[in-house]
């Protein structure tokens, strides 16, 4: 029989090597390869043959199952992101930068959950129980019947959870958990993977909803193998700018609900407040109309959200002018600049371009193209756009405006927030929303002509 030999695995792409090396041949990442114990082949090291298992009961797709019962977490915005509440026996990973407010969010959720009469256990591997109690006091939640433990030993935690059988267990954080059957330091890939595997299995077996907190690396990934993301049912990211009070909880994967849904919170002295109307909040900091500022009517998940997009165009002393983007895709910005140059003859060569989505919001919708183009043009011409107008629409490489989804919801939200005009693809004209006049253009060139003279 072959000697069990450890193997070396790339934590970024999962490629397997016999020997350690500094750079992964398959994905090119540096320092991503770590040693791992091999998977044993069955209980006695024998291969898994067709005769050794026990036949599994097979059913058909038509079998009727009731949808999973859900219980509200007590935080409406968290429930929205989860797709309507916590599903029993599900595993949820909440990732985010250190200090962004993950522990605060989950302590609040645990407390509200417990106050409904359901059992919640909060295990912290990062803070002492006294620290957590102090935080609970600050949040005004000291009376909530949450069961608390400061512990890192996975074995002890699993034993405790097995006795308690809570409806909700929060593990803060997965990187601090230590499985004594794995020979590597806490936080290492093998440890994180083993701990996540045990906790997810526990959730499935005992029907507890388990929330794992995960820290995010500099590259913006949840530290440890991507495998953890595959193991859990739901992956949520908690994000926001440190200097801003807004925090956004975003579903990036959800087996029990729509992905891309967001929940919006505001960090206050007494914890996180839910923001029921994010558009009003994102636009509240807007001052007098200034060149380069545009309101984009976006959709996040199922909810329309209005945000301000700001552009600054300044002469550049550099041979290669700067292109700086916060909250949007920089590749997409280059594309819009290229379309403006090639289709409208408006060049940004020789200018630094800065683009910022206000409030710490991050947009990934192509529908923001038109708002970005309008912001860039307005900044370049130093000419403010009408303040009562929202923009949305995708721009194709030919410069044409392409239709987008949910035009009606966008228009309704704009109308609700006091806007009276929208510049959008012609499709938006077919949905009549009272109080909003839709202006549409065949292509970007026509829009430039209308707003900025002959262009």
Q: Distance (Å, rounded) from C-alpha 274 to C-alpha 73? A: 13
Residue 138: name its binding partner from Mg ion, ligand TYD, none (Cβ under 5 to 8 Å by kind). ligand TYD
Q: What's the closest the beta carbon of residue 171 comes to ligand TYD, in angstroms?
A: 12
Residue 135: name its binding partner from Mg ion, ligand TYD, none (Cβ under 5 to 8 Å by kind). ligand TYD
Indicate whether 67 belongs to the interface with ligand TYD (CB under 6 A): no
Nearer to ligand TYD, 267 or 401 (CB): 267
Indicate whether 269 belongs to the interface with ligand TYD (CB under 6 A): yes
Nearer to Mg ion, 103 or 310 (CB): 103
Nearer to Mg ion, 80 or 135 (CB): 135
Indicate whether 142 belongs to the interface with ligand TYD (CB under 6 A): no
27, 128, 270, 342: which one contacts ligand TYD (CB under 6 A)? 270
Q: Distance (Å, rounded) from C-alpha 389 to C-alpha 392? A: 10
Q: What's the closest the beta carbon of residue 269 comes to Mg ion, in angstroms?
A: 18
Q: Are 190 and 176 in contact (CB under 8 A)?
A: no
Signed CA dihedral, 125, 130, 135, 137: sign only: positive
Residue 55: name its binding partner from ligand TYD, Mg ion, none (Cβ under 5 to 8 Å by kind). none
Residue 99: name its binding partner from Mg ion, ligand TYD, none (Cβ under 5 to 8 Å by kind). ligand TYD
Q: What's the closest the beta carbon of residue 172 comes to Mg ion, in angstroms?
A: 6
Site for ligand TYD in 90-119 (CB under 6 A): 96, 98-104
Nearer to Mg ion, 125 or 327 (CB): 125
Nearer to ligand TYD, 10 or 196 (CB): 196
Nearer to Mg ion, 7 or 221 (CB): 221
Residue 327: name its binding partner from Mg ion, ligand TYD, none (Cβ under 5 to 8 Å by kind). none
Q: How many chain residues are in contact with ligand TYD, going by CB under 6 A?
A: 15
90, 103, 279, 406: which one contacts Mg ion (CB under 5 A)? 103
Nearer to ligand TYD, 210 or 333 (CB): 210
- Pairing mode, if any, of strands 16-17 and 394-395? unpaired
Indicate whether 175 belongs to the interface with Mg ion (CB under 5 A): no
Indicate whether 45 belongs to the interface with ligand TYD (CB under 6 A): no
Give the interface segment with Mg ion, choosing from 81-89, 99-107, 115-123, 133-141 (CB under 5 A): 99-107
Query: Using CB under 5 A as the criterion, what x/- string covers residues 57-96 for binding Mg ion?
Result: ----------------------------------------
Nearer to Mg ion, 95 or 278 (CB): 95
Nearer to ligand TYD, 94 or 373 (CB): 94
Q: How many chain residues are in contact with Mg ion, going by CB under 5 A?
A: 1
Per residue in 415-428, is it b (16+ CB within 10 Å) or e — as a string?
bbbebebbbbbebb
Q: Which parts of this chain interact with ligand TYD (CB under 6 A)?
A: 96, 98-104, 135, 138-139, 267, 269-271
Q: Which parts of this chain interact with Mg ion (CB under 5 A)?
A: 103
């Amino acid at each position: 029989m072959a000697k069990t030999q450890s193997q070396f695995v790339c934590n970024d792409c999962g490629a397997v090597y016999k020997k350690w090396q500094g750079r992964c041949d398959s994905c090119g990442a540096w320092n991503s390869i770590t040693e791992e114990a091999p998977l044993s082949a069955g209980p006695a090291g024998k291969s898994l043959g067709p005769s050794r298992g026990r036949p599994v009961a097979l059913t058909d797709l038509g079998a009727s199952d009731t949808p999973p019962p859900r219980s509200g977490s007590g935080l409406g915005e968290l429930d929205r992101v989860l797709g309507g509440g916590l599903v029993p026996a599900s595993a949820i990973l909440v990732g985010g930068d250190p200090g962004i407010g993950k522990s605060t969010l989950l302590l609040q959720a645990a407390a509200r959950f417990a106050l409904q009469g359901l059992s919640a256990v909060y295990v912290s591997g990062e803070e002492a129980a006294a620290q957590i109690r102090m935080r609970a006091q600050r949040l005004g939640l000291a009376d909530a019947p949450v069961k608390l433990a400061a512990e890192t030993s996975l074995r002890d935690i699993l034993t405790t959870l097995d006795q308690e059988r809570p409806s909700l267990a929060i593990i803060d954080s997965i990187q601090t958990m230590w499985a004594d059957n794995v020979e590597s330091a806490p936080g290492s890939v093998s440890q994180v993977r083993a701990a996540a595997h045990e906790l997810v299995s526990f959730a499935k077996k005992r029907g507890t909803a388990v929330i794992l907190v995960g820290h995010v690396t500099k590259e913006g990934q949840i530290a440890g193998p991507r495998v953890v993301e595959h193991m859990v049912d739901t992956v949520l990211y908690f994000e926001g700018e440190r200097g801003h009070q807004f925090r956004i909880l975003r579903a990036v994967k959800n087996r029990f609900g729509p992905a891309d849904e967001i929940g919006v919170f505001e960090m206050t002295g007494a914890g996180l407040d839910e923001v029921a109307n994010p558009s009003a909040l994102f636009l509240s900091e807007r001052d007098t109309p200034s060149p380069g500022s545009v309101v984009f009517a976006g959709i996040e998940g199922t909810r329309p959200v209005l945000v301000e997009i700001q552009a600054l165009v300044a002469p550049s002393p550099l041979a290669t002018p700067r292109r700086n983007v916060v909250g949007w895709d920089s590749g997409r910005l280059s594309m819009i600049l290229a379309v403006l140059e090639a289709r409208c003859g408006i060049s940004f060569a020789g200018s630094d371009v800065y683009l910022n989505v206000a409030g710490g919001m991050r947009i990934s919708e192509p529908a923001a193209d038109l708002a970005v183009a309008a912001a860039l043009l307005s900044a370049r011409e130093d000419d403010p756009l009408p303040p009562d107008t929202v923009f949305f629409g995708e721009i194709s490489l030919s410069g044409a405006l392409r239709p987008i989804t949910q035009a009606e919801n966008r228009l309704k939200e704009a109308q609700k927030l006091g806007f009276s005009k929208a510049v959008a693809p012609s499709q938006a004209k077919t949905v009549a929303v009272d109080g909003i006049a839709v202006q549409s253009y065949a292509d970007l060139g026509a829009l430039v002509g209308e707003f900025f003279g002959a262009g």
